Each structure stands twice: as C-alpha cells, then as structure tokens.
C-alpha cells in the first residue's frame, strides 16, 4: 500500500466514522430542531428515503443497491490509479460519503439528515452529503485546473 493510497483510505474512513456518529446522535434532536448559528445553520432530524433532493423517494433498497454498485465500481476503477493530492482527497471524501449513505439505505431503509440551512430554503442534509459535495468540487477543480493529472487515466 502506497502512502497516497493510505491517505485515501484514512480520509474515507474518517468521513465514514464522523458520518456514522452524527447519524446515531441525530434521532435525539428536538422535534422542531434548534439553531446553532442564528440565521445561518441549525440541526433538525429528517429521514430521506430517496437520493439527492429526495429523488427516487420510497425506493431506498433500489438506491442502496445502486449506491453499492457505484461504490464497488469506483473502488475497482481506482485501485491501480495514481492521483495527485487534490483529486485523491476529493475522491476519498466522495468514497466515504457515498459509503455512509449507501449503508443507511441498505440497513435502515432511509438516510438520516440533520443539518439545516437557515439562510436559504434548502433540503436538510448530513455529513456524508457535505463530503460528497466538497469532494465533487475538489475533483472538478482538479479537472479544470490540472487536466494533465487525469490524462493518463
């Protein structure tokens, strides 16, 4: 195992652990939630049986199996690739987040969400969703700013 692949697995594992901890604590939130930073962010428990923005709601097992296929496919594709730090970090964040949400869909039949934006009307989300988003942004930045890093893939 190379130093880079160890970093990938460490980031993905930390994301998964943080996601699991927050999702275990989320059901204990007050029913109407509470404010962390007034006008900015709060915590409120919600259950999402779909994927992003509640698409495919009511089909958690299907979305879980699709998520499992994507996670496995991604790991198979990535296992022999060499990446520089930025895309590697982005892919690790995405792997940890996708694994966390996929496990919830398969085990619970829904994904617990708990982070609520108060400054804009936006769906409640979780740590895994945040890591997926940040990971995608990092990968996009690396694709736009350093396409030569992806040319050999």
Which is more confidently placed, 97 or 151? 97
Q: For helices 85-107 and 3-25, give the axis angle rounded to 10 degrees.
A: 40
pTM: 0.85
Which of 19, 32, 104, 113 is flagged as catalytic?
113
Q: What is the DSSP string of 63-79?
A: HHHHHHHHHHHHHHHHT
Q: How many C-beta atoms lie closer than 10 Å to residue 114's C-beta?
A: 20
Q: For residue range 10-24, what is the model confidence (pLDDT) as tens digits?
A: 999 999 999 999 999
Which of 32, 104, 129, 149 is flagged as catalytic?
129
**What is the per-residue pLDDT for 88?**
87
Is residue 129 annotated as part of the catalytic site, yes or no? yes
Residue 44 CA, chain-centre distance (Å), reads 18
Q: How far apart are CA 56 and CA 125, in angstroms?
A: 16
Is residue 149 annotated as part of the catalytic site, yes or no? no
Q: For residue range 75-98, what is the model confidence (pLDDT) as tens digits?
A: 787 777 677 788 889 999 999 999
pLDDT at 153 over 60: no
Mean of pLDDT values over 104-131: 93
Task: Give the neighbor-by-neighbor strand order of the sheet with 41-48.
Answer: 34-37, 41-48, 111-117
């Amino acid at each position: 195992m190379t130093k880079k692949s160890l970093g990938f697995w460490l980031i993905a594992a930390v994301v998964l652990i943080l996601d699991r901890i927050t999702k275990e604590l989320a059901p204990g939130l007050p029913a109407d939630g509470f404010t962390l930073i007034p006008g900015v962010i709060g915590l409120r428990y919600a259950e999402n049986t779909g994927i992003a923005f509640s698409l495919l709601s009511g089909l958690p097992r299907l979305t879980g199996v699709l998520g499992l296929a994507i996670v496995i496919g991604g790991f198979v594709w990535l296992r022999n690739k060499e990446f520089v730090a930025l895309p590697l970090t982005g892919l690790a964040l995405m792997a940890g987040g996708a694994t966390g949400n996929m496990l919830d869909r398969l085990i619970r039949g829904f994904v617990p969400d708990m982070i609520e934006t108060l400054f804009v009307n936006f769906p409640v989300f979780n740590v895994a969703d945040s890591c997926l988003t940040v990971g995608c942004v990092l990968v996009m930045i690396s694709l736009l700013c350093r396409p030569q890093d992806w040319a050999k893939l």
